[in-house]
Structures are given as structure tokens and as C-alpha cells.
Amino acid sequence: AAGVIQSPRHLIKEKRETATLKCYPIPRHDTVYWYQQGPGQDPQFLISFYEKMQSDKGSIPDRFSAQQFSDYHSELNMSSLELGDSALYFCASSLVDLAGGPRYEQYFGPGTRLTVT
Amino acid sequence: KQEVTQIPAALSVPEGENLVLNCSFTDSAIYNLQWFRQDPGKGLTSLLLIQSSQREQTSGRLNASLDKSSGRSTLYIAASQPGDSATYLCAVRPSTTSGTYKYIFGTGTRLKVLA
């Protein structure tokens, strides 16, 4: 079965550079979520999209932006990178049942490990 | 604000033991709760998903229970094996009228099963 695809898997950038992370959800999933997991920490929600519209925003820095495209893939753009941005970035996708709430499981991708030097 | 905590933070047991991992959440208004496994530096592997209307879910040697009213879930691992060594995370999806369905993760339990 198809899973959530993230690219690249590893990324090394220098401070003040820009990075773009991509996420391809499971086919027919309509919702995409981005999470950030710092070293030794639990994943923290950044932002989500439902049907290409931003549906929720968490602790995402103003230097970051994201969008979901017509084919439902999503990109997380990170500018003016800082050392503290080094983390594992997860994308997840799910279906949302508007009548019954989010009954469906959230599937996580393998993550992109970003290292800022 | 929903907060999720897991006890213990770390656990080391000999192979073959049955063990229980605990997850507590402060707000009982949730849609569901999901247990994950994470190997060092790796992604999240979903283990079990419990809907708010359910009491437990089972998969192989794993059994997860949910007591929504008391804000607790437990993950029971039977006959533990060295291959079970990993960090176990629970995550809840709060009920909300705003249509947002993000997960709030617990702090994790780092499990080591000794051969």
C-alpha cells in the first residue's frame, strides 16, 4: 500500500539559507499535517491543510510557510534558517469525515532530517 | 489546553516480561488516541488507534486501553522481546468545533528490553 512520501530524506543547510521540504500524501487523503521533532523531544504540530486550505496553525515560526497544491502534495518552506531549526520534520496525511470527525488514522511519513550548520 | 504525559519516561526490563506503558491527558474531550513506536532517528510507526467510543484495541502482543473519563490510556506489551526496544509515543486528537485535527503528542517512554 502507498505510504506518505517525504523528500528529501536528509538535508544539510547553513545558517540563513532557505530549505524546502516536500510531502506527498497517501492517494485520496485530503488533509496534510506538518510536525517538527527536535532532538530528544516529542513531535510538535506546525501547520495543517484540508482541501488545499490552511486548517490549523501551531507553533510555526513566521520564517516558515507552507502550502498544499492542487495535487494535494504539500511543501514547507523555511527561510533564514537557524541552528535551532535542526530537527526531524514529519508530514502526515489522513481523511477527514466531516460528519463524524477525524475517525481515520493519521499516517506519518518517514521524515526529513534537517541539519543546520 | 490539552497536555499529554507518559510514565515512565524510561524503562528497562528483561526479555519475556509483560509490561505496561501509561499515557495521561488532561482534557477528556478527544476524538481518538493513537500509539506510535519510534526507533532512534527514525520515523513514527503506528501501533494502535483507539476511537473515543472504544475501550481497547489489540494487535498481536499489543493491547491498548482507553478510559476517556479519567484521561488515561495504557499500552500493554506481552512477552517483551529485544526487538521491542524503542520509544513509544501516545498522541491524542482533541475534539474541536473549529475543524482542526492535529495530534498532541506525549513525552514518550523509552523502552529497553534486555536479552
**Average pLDDT in chain A:** 91
The CA radius of gyration of chain B, in Å to the nearest whole number, is 14
Place of cell 534486555: B114
Q: Which residues of A touch B102 (CB under 8 A)?
A: 33, 45, 48, 56, 58
Q: Rounded to the nearest 5 degrees, what angle is found at the Cα of A69, between the Cα atoms of B33 and A96?
A: 25
Q: Judge: A113–B41 Cβ closer than 8 Å, yes or no.
A: yes
**Is pLDDT above 70 for B91?**
yes
In this structure, are residues A74 and A22 in contact, taking their beta carbons and an 8 Å threshold?
A: yes
* Chain B interface includes A25 (CB < 8 A): no
For A94, which residue in chain B has the nearest alpha carbon? B101
* Chain B interface includes A5 (CB < 8 A): no
Higher pLDDT, A106 or B5: B5
Q: Report CA B108 to chain centroid distance, whole Å.
A: 8
Query: How far apart are the CA of B107 and the nearest CA of chain A, in angstroms?
Result: 6
Nearest Cβ partner for A31 among B31, B95, B101: B101
> pLDDT at position B97, please?
60
pLDDT, tens digit (0-9, with 9 covering 90-100), for B18-59? 999 999 999 998 988 999 999 988 889 999 999 888 999 999
Place of cell 509483560: B18
pLDDT band at B100 (very low <50, low <70, confident <90, very high): low
pLDDT, tens digit (0-9, with 9 covering 90-100), for A55-108? 889 989 999 999 999 999 999 999 999 999 999 999 999 887 655 555 567 889
**Is pLDDT above 90 for B60?**
yes
Q: Judge: B99–A55 Cβ closer than 8 Å, yes or no.
A: yes
For B88, which residue in chain A has the nearest alpha carbon? A42
pLDDT, tens digit (0-9, with 9 covering 90-100), for A28-66? 888 899 999 999 899 999 999 988 899 889 989 999 999
pLDDT band at A22 (very low <50, low <70, confident <90, very high): very high
